[in-house]
Structure 1
Amino acid sequence: MNVHSPLQSREAAVRMASRDWKMLIDGEWLDGSTQDWLDVRDPATGEVIARAPAGGAADIHAAVAAAKAAFDDRRWLNLGAEERSRRLWRVADLIERDAAKIQAVEQLNNGAPASLAAFFTTYAAKFFRHYAGWCDKINGETIEISEPGAPFHTYTRKEPLGVAGLIVPWNGPFASAAMKVATALTAGCTCVLKPSEETPLSALMLGELLIEAGIPAGVVNIVPGHGHIAGAALANHPDVSKISFTGSTEVGKLIANAATGNLKKVSLELGGKSPSIIFDDADLSKAIPGAALGTFYNTGQVCIAGTRVLVQRSVYDQVVEGMAAVGRSLHLGGGFDPEAQIGPLISAKQLERVSGMIDVARDEGAQVLGGGLPFERGYFVEPTVITNARPDSVVVRDEIFGPVITAIPFDDPEEALSIGNDTEYGLAAAVWTRDIGRSQLIANSIAAGTVWVNCQLVLSPGAPFGGYKQSGWGRENGIEGLHGFMQTKTVMTAL
């Protein structure tokens, strides 16, 4: 796959991004009805780099109306499966063509290092191609029934739900938007996408590519805005049949409550407090960097980050020292620092939250390795390993969404399972061991939607992804993710 190199100059990226952006409704680029604006910042400096309209309830209503009209007149479905597949594949081609620009915006607005921005852009194209191949493979089934009366021909159909509201986060904004849009369109839905108010730019760039690829007007609408205004209006809208949300558990619960108005379908990919369990027989040369980067990756702003590292006591000190060394070795920098391996947190608010949680742990008597604030500007915090934290400490119990590991010792597999499952979350887990039987015992018993064995942070468009407990409802990716945007109709015909 030939993906262009990212733009090397921050100044060139600023010139490209620095403008008043517009929202996409019914194929038109429009200013918001509120005349309010979102200041879009570079988290490496805190500087405002662009403005995007802060959509209000009226903008959401207009976008939903456009999506409903497009769904009702079947302007997307009536193209036929082969043509829909061709246009989704075209989106992937256009993403690769414009990869340099997309990556530059992710580096600038998200603070992602170049390699991470490139990965997210490549993954977005991969996702569109994966689902493009599903357009002509959506099938029902024929069912034999034995009921009194005439023989019956009975079959099922898979049909799209209707208008889908897609709400995406800031920790990989382009890829998150692409994943939800590709799935919804493959299912035959029309949609309204609300990107995070922190990172709206790359989602709007996706809108430009969708139009160029021939996605009809009104099929995809994009409205930036604040979650409590635009997001709430979308979740409450009576003409929205489905909400797909990725974000915090707290907001997910609000969306679930809002969905009761018209009993819209809801899928929620929420928070996590994932355990990485390292046994003393593990290959520590792989387990130590694997567990460390399983949290420090993307500055810890990953819902599946393994922030609780459970280590068998006999190798505990070695693993803790090794993970701290990995953290010290990582170069912190902005998106256009060529040596950067870890970028900034997304905002001053997030920096305050993460550093505050580290301070609480330190005040409670925990040992903190790292955790400094290395620069006078920007939202940077050093990778951190915490030991001897109280079991009820916020760093043990709560999602941090920063590069912070809490290391916890254990003695045997039963204790590891008990500690691993002692959380309200259940998004992911990792197991590091050479014992295949032990690995499967843990994988089968841990309450998590995804379990990695001797690896971490591996995701694929074809593999279902979602959480147990308060980490969410439903699954994304694969056929399960596609079915989340569809409903089943049973047809019975007397012969």
Structure 2
Amino acid sequence: MTIAPSAAARAFLDGPHRLLIGGEWVEGEGRGIAVENPARGEIIAEVRAASLDQLDQAVSAARSALHGDWSRLGGRDRGVILDRFADLLEARADLIGEVMTLDNGSPLLSSRMVVQHLAAELFRYYAGWASKIAGESFQPSLTARPTLDIMVATTRDPIGVVGAIVPWNAPPGMMALKMAPALAAGCTLVLKTAELAPLVGELFAQLWIEAGGPAGAFNLIHGHGEDMGAAMAAHPGIDKIAFTGSTAVGRRIVEAATGNLKKVSLELGGKSPVIVFPDADLDAVIPAAAMACYLSTGQQCMAGSRLFLHADIHDRVVEGVATFARTLKVGDGLDPATVLGPMISARQKARVLDYIDIAKAEGATAALDSATFDGPGHFVGPVLLTGVSPGMRIEQEEVFGPVLSAIRFDDEDTMVDAVNGTPYGLSGSVWTRDIARALRVAKRVDSGQVGINIHAAMSAETPFGGNRQSGWGREFGREGLDGYLKTKAISINLGPKP
């Protein structure tokens, strides 16, 4: 089913695609980036990357705003702008969601939800925090100076100019996750879009201007990760890099950031477990386990791609997940019936198919194999593998596609060892009616987030981030704000003690 883009989306695609630097729209001076609709394999727009000189200009504009118009706004006024931005997001959710779908293939309903129920909510949540950032005061114990009356006051100040590098899988949510807490904290930003899905960033830049955001507080550039992302990570004028993406790229960012020892926060890959015990409500488990992996066609960091099933219920859950997955429509995200869109690129499709072949060669069996599709677009249907054991590549490495591995277990201790036996530690879930067992196992799972009878229960208030090679730091919640603040202690000599 082929559905044409709306007139508003078409007009945006056909219009100019530029950078926002210091409050001005400018043409990129770097190489061209052809933007493909992955559902059709068609080029829908072309943007130009920023040059290194334009990166310098964006950083300078952010630095000027940090010490200028943006710094002169109090927390309440920053919050007003962020609230206004959220209003505009909700008002333009249809257009932004449609552009996201055209840009990365995500089903339209999911795209709109990312705008309305993630991006807008994040801006509102951090708008509330902007006026509540405060230090504390106390009297220290100075045994070396017992006769002096000393008071210490702490301040919580913006960390500075932030370089934000976002992925392609959910641009509105990922941009909001960097912008909202950084701006609430009083930082300024240079945000680089993902070269595979850059278009939503331009809509965000438009909204920033409409919301009354000061020039230079938010700057938007396009560019490829290997050159522009690397240049941002190494740039001496950037005080912090906030990155979401693959673990391999995260390592390179850390290496590049050592020049000025800038702060770095990383939300990286995952190989998240879904652990099911025999007493779980299997009618709830089966669709939830399927969608924990297949949502966003598996192109999400928290995907529950390892399904640990107790031997007593292994076969029943495998059959149920396979049956459920067969009902999921794979197709163009503009089709309202679509549940699974395409892979982001031909390269990613080939990578996923290679992993399936490797798994079969290592002894896995496909209980459901709907991987290949004829016609245009980069589609891979839902795949369910059984006979997967700890240590196989499909069990250890992030596939980033709709490939679910079922792993049989009998013993809790052995299962927990296997759960924690990958380099990752991002998300996971435990399914059982026994709350004591649920809490016991959840505490033993080494990841930044664990759900009990729910997978990936994200909210603006709930901290999220990875352990081990899944990242550094936390996003969402109060912890997400802390990553953009620095503490200063001011010691005041009040004179001799009375």
Counterpart of 1:95 (choices 89, 101, 107) is 89
Confirm whether residue 115 of structure 1 aligns to residue 109 of structure 2: yes
Shift of 1:392: 3.2
Where 2:163 maps in the other structure, the secondary structure is strand
Q: Distance in 2 between matches of 1:86 and 1:77?
A: 15
Contact kept in structure 2, 1:192 and 1:223, CA below 8 Å: yes
Contact kept in structure 2, 1:25 and 1:62, CA below 8 Å: yes
Q: Distance in 1 between matches of 2:124 and 2:439?
A: 32
Kindly tell me the number of residue pairs found equivalent between the two proteins.
Answer: 486
| Counterpart code for 1:16 | F
Q: What's 2:12 paired with? A: 16
Where 1:135 maps in the other structure, the secondary structure is helix
Q: What's 1:4 paired with? A: none
| Counterpart code for 1:152 | I
Contact kept in structure 1, 2:389 and 2:407, CA below 8 Å: no
Counterpart of 2:129 (choices 123, 130, 134) is 134
Where 1:271 maps in the other structure, the secondary structure is coil
Counterpart of 1:58 (choices 53, 60, 71) is 53
Q: What's 1:178 paired with? A: 176
Where 1:10 maps in the other structure, the secondary structure is coil
Q: Distance in 1 between matches of 2:357 and 2:16?
A: 39
Q: What's 1:5 paired with? A: none
Counterpart of 2:223 (choices 207, 222, 225) is 225
Where 1:133 maps in the other structure, the secondary structure is helix
Confirm whether residue 458 of structure 1 aligns to residue 457 of structure 2: yes
Q: Distance in 2 between matches of 1:135 and 1:175?
A: 19
| Counterpart code for 2:177 | M
Give me the TM-score of the superposition, normalised by structure 2: 0.96
Q: What's 2:436 paired with? A: 437
Contact kept in structure 1, 2:37 and 2:105, CA below 8 Å: yes
Q: What's 1:29 paired with? A: 25
Q: What's 1:275 paired with? A: 273
Confirm whether residue 207 of structure 1 aligns to residue 205 of structure 2: yes
Q: What's 1:84 paired with? A: 78
Q: Distance in 2 between matches of 1:217 and 1:492?
A: 36
Contact kept in structure 1, 2:450 and 2:456, CA below 8 Å: no
Contact kept in structure 1, 2:340 and 2:381, CA below 8 Å: no
Shift of 1:415: 1.9
| Counterpart code for 1:431 | V
| Counterpart code for 2:338 | A
Contact kept in structure 1, 2:81 and 2:212, CA below 8 Å: yes
Where 1:428 maps in the other structure, the secondary structure is coil
| Counterpart code for 1:43 | P
| Counterpart code for 1:82 | R
| Counterpart code for 1:216 | P
Q: Distance in 1 between matches of 2:253 and 2:274?
A: 30
Q: Distance in 2 between matches of 1:268 and 1:33?
A: 29
Extract unaligned runs of 5+ from structure 2.
none
| Counterpart code for 1:77 | S
Give me the TM-score of the superposition, normalised by structure 1: 0.96
Q: Distance in 1 between matches of 2:388 and 2:148?
A: 70
Identity %: 45
Q: Distance in 2 between matches of 1:72 and 1:11?
A: 42
Q: Distance in 1 between matches of 2:334 and 2:227?
A: 33
Q: What's 1:489 paired with? A: 488
| Counterpart code for 2:458 | L
Deviation digits for residues 175-233 of structure 1 (CA, Å, limit 9, x no counterpart): 11112101110010001001100111101100100111011111100111100111011
Q: Distance in 2 between matches of 1:169 and 1:118?
A: 17
Shift of 1:394: 2.1
Counterpart of 1:157 (choices 155, 158, 174) is 155
Q: How does 1:319-334 map to 2 (within 5 A)?
A: 319-334=317-332
Where 2:450 maps in the other structure, the secondary structure is strand
Deviation digits for residues 138-171 of structure 1 (CA, Å, limit 9, x no counterpart): 0111122122142012111100011000000011
Extract unaligned runs of 5+ from structure 1.
1-7
Q: Distance in 2 between matches of 1:184 and 1:303?
A: 22
